[in-house]
Amino acid sequence: MKVDQLSIFLENRAGRLAEVTRILSEAGVNIRALSLADTSDFGILRLIVSDFDTAKAKLKDNGFTVGRTSVVAVKVSDDPGGLHNILTMLQNAGINVEYMYAFVQQSGDSAVLILRFDRTEQGIELLQKNNIEIIPGDTLYSM
């Protein structure tokens, strides 16, 4: 049920991000979703890609520090309150969201949330119990 997210350390320097996208495009890897967190001197780029292993290997070859993180992808209806319901549920269960990002699907009737929990397994259990649709990694990589 989990999704592999590629996390990449980026020094805060012009051109670092373009270097990542160049390496991925040359390797024929497609980016499905991304988010970038930054501080004054470094950033962390988080990606869901079409081919995790190739992306990781190519970036490592080029001297990037990368990591694998398990995240959860859920489908929510593209309506007011869709996200709020899920967050309330998590809050009541005492599960912490470390960070999240989202994208709207092409069909436009639903959005996909990428969630990073402090306790991934419990998070998945809770979502399943409440009949929230979880998108498996394989589906997401090839969407």
Partner 1 sequence: MIYDVHNETLPREDLEKLQLKRLQALCERVYANVPFYKKKFDEKGVKPQDIKSLKDLTLLPFTVKQDLRDQYPFGMFAVPKDQIVRIHSSSGTTGTATVVGYTKRDIDNWGELMARSFMAAGASAADTVHNAYGYGLFTGGLGAHYGAEALGATVIPISGGATRRQVSLLKDFAPDVICCTPSYALFLAETGEDMGINIKDLPLRIGIFGAEPWTEEMRRSIEKKLGITAIDIYGLSEIMGPGVAIECHQAQDGLHIQEDHFLAETIDPETGDPVGPGEEGELVFTTLTKEGIPLIRYRTRDLTTLNTTPCKCGRTTARMKRVTGRSDDMLIIRGVNVFPSQIESILIETEGLTPHYQLIVERQGNLDTLEVQVEVSDTMFSDEIKNLQLLERKVMKNIKEFLGVTAKVRLVNPKEIERSMGKAKRIIDKRNEA
Q: Which residues bind partner 1 (CB under 8 A)?
A: 5, 7, 9-11, 37, 39, 41-42, 44, 46, 63-67, 69, 98-99, 116
Q: What is the token pair recorded at 24? A: 């991925």
**CB nearer partner 1, residue 86 or residue 114:** 114
Least CB distance to partner 1 at residue 108 (A): 30
Least CB distance to partner 1 at residue 69 (A): 4
**CB nearer partner 1, residue 39 or residue 92:** 39
CB 72 within 8 A of CB 117: yes
Q: What is the dihedral of CA 125, 126, 127, 128, to 10 degrees?
A: 50
Look at the alpha carbons of 73, 94, 37, 4 in this order and tell me if their dihedral is positive or negative. negative
Q: What is the token pair recorded at 28? A: 């024929």
Spell out the residues 6+ positions from residue 54 whose beta carbon is closer than 8 angstroms to its own: 27, 28, 29
Least CB distance to partner 1 at residue 125 (A): 22
**CB nearer partner 1, residue 97 or residue 110:** 97
**CB nearer partner 1, residue 69 or residue 110:** 69
At 37, is the secondary structure helix, strand, or coil? strand
